[in-house]
């Protein structure tokens, strides 16, 4: 993403890699970031976060 000129961060750069997904989602919402993931439960995380 960075190579294509987009601002991007890896969660491990800004948060605890062992943090629950809810913490990651809350951080992303608060800072205006989109989340890219390989997690199979991402749709559940997104629905529970109330984000769009």
Give the tens place of pLDDT for each residue, 2-46. 899 999 999 999 999 999 988 998 999 999 998 888 777 777 777
In the prediction, which pLDDT does 1 show? 86
CA angle 30, 32, 6 (to 5 degrees): 145
Please state, as a whole number, how many other Cβ atoms lie within 10 Å of the Cβ of residue 28. 18
In the prediction, which pLDDT does 46 show? 73
Question: Does the pTM of the predicted model rise above 0.95?
Answer: no
* Boundaries of every domain in the chain: 2-49
Q: Locate tokens 């943090």: which residue? A: 19
pLDDT > 80? residue 48: no
In the prediction, which pLDDT does 17 show? 93
């Amino acid at each position: 993403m960075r190579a294509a000129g987009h601002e991007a961060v890896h969660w491990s750069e800004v948060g605890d890699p062992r943090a629950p997904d809810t913490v990651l989602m809350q951080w992303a919402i608060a800072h205006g970031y989109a989340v890219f993931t390989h997690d199979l439960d991402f749709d559940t995380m997104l629905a529970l976060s109330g984000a769009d």
